[in-house]
Structure 1
Amino acid sequence: MEMQQPQVDVEGQSSSPAPAKPGLLRFNSPLAQVCLIGLVCFCLPGMYNALNGLGGGGQVDHTAADNANTALYACFAVFGVLGGAIHNLLGPRTTLFLGSLTYPLYVAAFLNYNHRPGSQVFPVIAGALLGVGAGFLWAAQGAIMTSYPPPNLRGTYISLFWCLFSLGSVLGGLLPLSLNYRRGSKVASVNDGTYIAFMTMMLVGVALTLLFLPPHKIVRDDGSRATGVTYSSAATEAGEVLRLFADWKMLLVLVPAWGSNFFYTYQFNNVNGLLFTLRTKGLNNVVYWGAQMLGSVGLGYLLDFGFASRRKRGLVGVAVFAVLGTAIWGGGFVNQLRYTDGKWPDLIDFKDGRRYAGPFLLYCSYGLLDAMFQSLIYWIIGALTNDSQVLSRYAGFYKGVQSAGAAVSWQVDFHKTPLMAQLIVNWGLITVSYPLLALLVFLAVKDDEDSSVYPRSRTTNTTDRRKLSAPTTFH
C-alpha cells in the first residue's frame, strides 16, 4: 500500500485559509464524503437492519439470530472501543473496507441456515466476525460524521447521513415484502432470494468503501481543512483508549450509549416479530426506517437552527426527545399489557384495518424515537471537540458501549425474559439518559463556534512531528 504524507498545519506559516472551489460535486468536500458514508451505510448496516428488523434474522425460530447477535455485539463492544484507534492508524478507506467485508458473510450464514437449520455454528461465527467489522465501520463513520462537517451544520449533516442510512433499511424492507408477498399470512422464514438480494446490495457497499479520501485531503467550503493533524501510533492510541474510561464526558455517555441499541431486540423480535405476518413485517420495516428519516431531519434542524446559543439548542433537543420518549414508551406499555404472556396467536396483517393501525403506529414511533436518540448523541459528541482523532475515539467508545448493551439484550431475549420486564428496562434506560445528556450539554457544550477551524499544531517543525509518531494514512 502506498504511504501518503498528510499535511500538517504549522504555527505561523499560514494565514486565513483560502475558500475552496464551490460546487456540490467537489469530491473532497465534507458534504461529498458524508454522502458517501451514508451510501455505504445504506448498503451495509442499512440492509443488516432491514434483515434484523424482520425478527430472528428472517427465521421463524429466533434462537440462531439471538446467539449470532450476541456474538456480534460482544465482539462489537470490544472492537467498537478499539475501532477509533484502528481508524487513526489505518485511515478511513482501509478501516471501512476491512469492516465492510463481514456484512455479506453474515447474510450468507443465514442463507446457509435456511438449508441447514440444525447447525448454528456458521451464523454464530459470522456474527462474531461482523462484530469486528462493524466496530471498524462505525468508528470510521463516527469520525467522518463528527469531524468533517462545519460545527454550525453538524446537525444537518448528521440528519443527511441518517436519511441515507435509513433509506437503505426502507428499501431493504421492501425486499422481503415483495419477495414474500404471495406467501400471504403464512408464518415462514424468508426465502433464499431475499438473502441473495441483501448480499448483492452489501457487495455494492463493499466496493464504495474504496472511494474514500484521506482525512487531510478534505477541505471545507471556507478553505479550512476538516482535520488538522493526521498522525498517530499504536502506543499513543492504546493509552488514549484507556483514558476514555476515566473521561467524565464519556462516563456521562455510558448509560445513553448502553440503552441506545438495547431496545432493538424487544422491538424487532417481540413487537414486529411477534405480532405481525411475514409480509407485514417487511412493510412495517419500510415505515419504521422511514420514520427514522423524519426524526433525524426534524431534530437535526432544531439542533442547527433552533436558537443562537448552541448549548440552548442542545438542551431543547434533549427536552423534546424526553417528552416524545415518555409518550411513546408509555404507549408501548399499554400495548404490552395486551400480551403479557408473550403469546399473540392471531397474527396481524396490514389488510386488517383498524386492528392493524394501533400496533403499526407504535412500531413506527419507535423508529422515529431511535433516530432522534442517536442523532442527538452524535451531535453532542461532535460538539465536545473538533479534534478528529479524539472524535474517532469518542465515537468508538460510544459504539463499543452501545454494542455491549445490545449483546446483553439479545441474551435477555434468548433466556425468555418476560416481555413486560424487557419493556420496563428499556424505558428505564431511556429515562435515565435524559438528565445525563442534559448535564453533558450544560457542562461541556460551548456556545462559541470559533472551533470550526482546527487549532494549529504547536509543533514548529513538521519533521519533529513525524518523529513523534507514524502517519495514519495507508491507502
Structure 2
Amino acid sequence: MIEQRSGSNDHDNDSVSIYERPKGLRGVYYHPITQIVMLAFVCFLCPGMFNALTGLGGGGQVNPTTSANSTCAVYATYAFFAFFSGTVNNKIGAKRTLLFGTLGYALYVGSYLAINIHPGAGWFVVTSGAILGVTAAFLWTAQGAMMLSYCTEAQKGIFISIFWAIFNLGAVVGATVSFGQNIHSTNNSVSNGTYVGILVLTILGVTIPLLMADPDKMIRTDGTRVVMPRHPSWKSEFYGLWVAIITDPMILLLFPMFFASNYFYTWQFNDYNSALFDIRARSLNNFMYWLSQIVGSGIIGVILDSKKLRRRVRAFTGWSILLVMTFVVHVWAYNYQRTYTRATVPPDSQKMDIYDPQYLAHVWLMIFYGLLDAMWQTTSFWLIGAMSNDTNKLAIYSGFYHSIQSAGAAGVWRMDAIRLPYMNIFLSTWCLVVAGLVFSFPMICLRIKDTTVLEDEGLMQRDQEINDTKAKEMIESGNDMP
C-alpha cells in the first residue's frame, strides 16, 4: 500500500491510500467492471423481468385494473421502505441487502401465472405486489450504493450506462420471450408459457448475489479502496438521514426529477401500449422500448463521461438533451392521445396489429420513449454521483431517489386503476417531467463542480469525528486501541 498526498493547494494535508490490485483470475473477479456486470445481471433477471411484464400493459392481462392496483401496491410499499433502505443497507451490508431484495420478484411473476389459471386470484396479485415493493426497495438501494461506489469520478457515466444496458437487456429478453410466445396470437392477453418462461429467469436471479465479491474487498481501478459502512448504530444511521440533507440541501432540488422518473411508465405502458395494441403488437413494442434503452444509456453515458468536457459542461449538456427529448416525445404523443379516450378503446375492442399501416409510426414513439427513459434515469444517477463520493451518503441518496420515484409511481398507477381520463394522466406526466428539469437546473448551476472535494462529504466527516471521539475516549481511559 502506497500513501499519496493531494496536490491541491487547499488540501495539502489530505492523503489518499493507494492499494495494489490483485492479479490473474482473482484480479478479474475483483475488478469493479466484473462486479458491476454481475450486479447488472441480478437486475437483468429480477427487475428486468418485472419491466418486461409491466411493459406489456396490464401485466399482459385483458383487464388491466388488477395489474394497476398491484403495481400501485408495489410502489406504495416501495416508497415507504426505500426511504429507510439506505440506512438498512449501511447496517447489514450491500451484499446481504441485495440478496434480500431479489426474493420478491419470482413471487410477483408467479402471481400473474396464478391469475391466468384462476381468474379469481386478483387478491394474490395485489398482495404479491405489496411484498415485492418491500424487497425491491432494498435491492435498488444496494444496487445504487454499489454501482456509484465501485467507480472513480471519471467512470461514473460509463459504469451507469454499462449497468443500464445489461439491466435493460433483461427486459429485452423477457419481451422476446413474450413476443415469441404470442407471435401468432391476435388476442389481448398472454399465454401461460410466457409467464413460466419469465418466472424461470427470475428465479435464476436470486443466486447471483451469493456469487458476488464482498464490497469491503473491492479496490477501484485507480487503487483506492471501496470503503463500505462498518455496521454503525441505528441511532447514528438515522441521524445520517438528517445530516445528509442538512449538509447538502441541494439534493431537495432533484426530488421533482426523482418523482417523475417512474411516473411516466403508467401512460406509456397502460394508457398507450395496452390501450391501442393487441398482444402481438404490445410484445413487439415492449421489445423495441427496452432495446432502445440500451442505446439511450450508452449515448448519454459517453456524453456524461467525455474527457473532452469539464464535468459542469457535461452536466449542462445532459440536461439540455433531456429537455429537447422531453418536448419531442410529448408533443408527438399528444397528437396520438387526443384521438382516443377510455370510452373509444374498451379492453375487449379490436386493437392495432403489427401489420396495420399506422403501426410503424406508433412503434417509433415507443422507441423514443425508451431513449428518453434511459437518458433520464442515467442522468439522475450521474447527478447523484457527482454530488458525493461518500458511500454512506450515496446509499442514503439512492434511498431518497427510489422512495420518491416510487411515491410518484404509486399515485399515478392508482389514478389509472380508478380510470382517470387518459388525457389527464398524460398531461400530468408531461408537466411533472418538465418540472423535474426546471428544478434540477439551479442545482446543476450551484452544486455540480468539476471534482468532488472532501468538504462535500458531510457523512464522511461525521464518521471521522465519531471515530476521533471514540479514539480520544479510549486513550483517556487507558484502553488499548483496536
Identity rate, percent: 36
Question: Which of residues 14, 26, 39 is equivalent to 1:37?
Answer: 39
Matched, 1:398 2:401: yes
Letter paired with 2:319 = V
CA contact (8 A) 2:141 2:398 kept: yes
Given that 2:19 and 2:225 are in contact with CA atoms closer than 8 Å, whether structure 1 keeps it comes out as no
State the shift of 1:49 in Å: 0.3
Residue 426 of structure 1 pairs with residue 429 of structure 2: yes
Corresponding residue number in structure 2 for 1:266 = 267
**Aligned mates of 2:146, 2:291 — CA distance in 1:** 23
For residue 350 of structure 1, the aligned residue among 331, 350, 354 is: 354
* Aligned mates of 1:461, 1:416 — CA distance in 2: 55
Q: In the alignment, residue 211 of structure 2 is paired with which amino acid?
A: L
* 2:416 corresponds to 1:442: no
- CA offset digits 1:15-62 (Å, max 9, x no partner): 641442467962222211211111100000000000011111111111
Taking structure 2 as the reference length, what is the TM-score of the superposition?
A: 0.89
* Structure 1 pair 218–342 and aligned structure 2 pair: CA distance change class (3 A): farther
Q: Is 1:337 paired with 2:338?
A: yes
2: CA distance, partners of 1:13 / 1:300? 31
Matches of residues 88-127 of structure 1 in structure 2 within 5 Å? 88-127=90-129
Scaled by the length of structure 1, the TM-score of the pair is: 0.90
Match status 1:316 vs 2:320: no
Structure 1 counterpart SS, 2:29:
coil
1:199 aligns with 199
User: 1:461 and 1:409, CA in 2 relative to 1: closer, same or farther beyond 3 A?
Assistant: closer
Cα shift readout 1:86-135 (whole Å, capped 9, x = no counterpart): 11111122111111011000111111111221232211111011000000
The offset of 1:324, in angstroms, is 1.1
- Secondary structure of 1:182's partner? coil
The residue correspondences of 1:58-457 to structure 2 (distance < 5 A) are 58-183=60-185, 185-187=186-188, 189-227=189-227, 230-243=230-243, 248-305=249-306, 307-341=308-342, 343-344=344-345, 345-352=349-356, 354-448=357-451
Matched residue SS, 2:121: coil
Q: How big is the shift at 1:444? A: 1.4
2:184 partner SS = helix
SS of 2:358's equivalent?
helix
Q: Distance in 2 between matches of 1:461 and 1:406?
A: 40
1:291 match: secondary structure = helix
Q: Which letter does structure 1 place at the counterpart of 2:257? A: P
Task: Name the SS of the counterpart of 2:78 in structure 1.
Answer: helix
Cα distance change of structure 1 residues 302 and 121 upon mapping to structure 2, 3 Å threshold: same
| 1:443 Cα offset (Å) | 1.5
- When residues 23 and 149 of structure 1 are mapped into structure 2, their CA distance, relative to the original with a 3 A threshold, is farther
Distance in 1 between residues matched to 2:259 and 2:403, nearest whole Å: 9
Count of residues in correspondence between the two structures: 457
User: Which runs of no fewer than 5 residues in structure 1 stay unpaired?
Assistant: 1-6, 469-475
Map Cα deviations across residues 308-333 of structure 1 (whole Å, 9 max, x no partner).
31011101110111011111111011
> Secondary structure of the residue that 1:349 maps to in structure 2?
coil
Question: Once superposed, what is the RMSD of the aligned Cα atoms?
Answer: 2.8
| 8 Å CA contact 1:259, 1:429 repeated in 2 | yes
Kindly provide the amino acid, as one letter, of the partner of residue 201 in structure 1.
Answer: L
**CA distance in 1 between partners of 2:112 and 2:45 (Å):** 18
Instruction: Say whether the 8 Å CA contact 2:152–2:221 is kept in structure 1.
Output: no
Residues 464 and 265 (structure 1), Cα distance of their counterparts in 2 relative to 1, 3 Å cut = same
Give the equivalent residue in structure 2 for 1:473: none
Match for 1:20: what amino acid? R
Higher relative contact order (CA 8 A, sep 6+): 1
CA offset digits 1:349-387 (Å, max 9, x no partner): 1122x3111111111111110110010000000011100
Call closer, same or farther: CA 1:306–1:426 in 2, change over 3 Å: farther
1:431: how far off?
Answer: 0.6
SS in 2 for 1:226: coil
8 A Cα contact 1:139 1:395, kept in partner: yes
Query: CA 1:244/1:389 → structure 2, altered by over 3 Å: closer, same or farther?
Result: closer
Between 325-334 and 15-24, report the one with greater CA deviation.
Answer: 15-24
Quote how far apart the aligned CAs of 1:173 are. 0.2
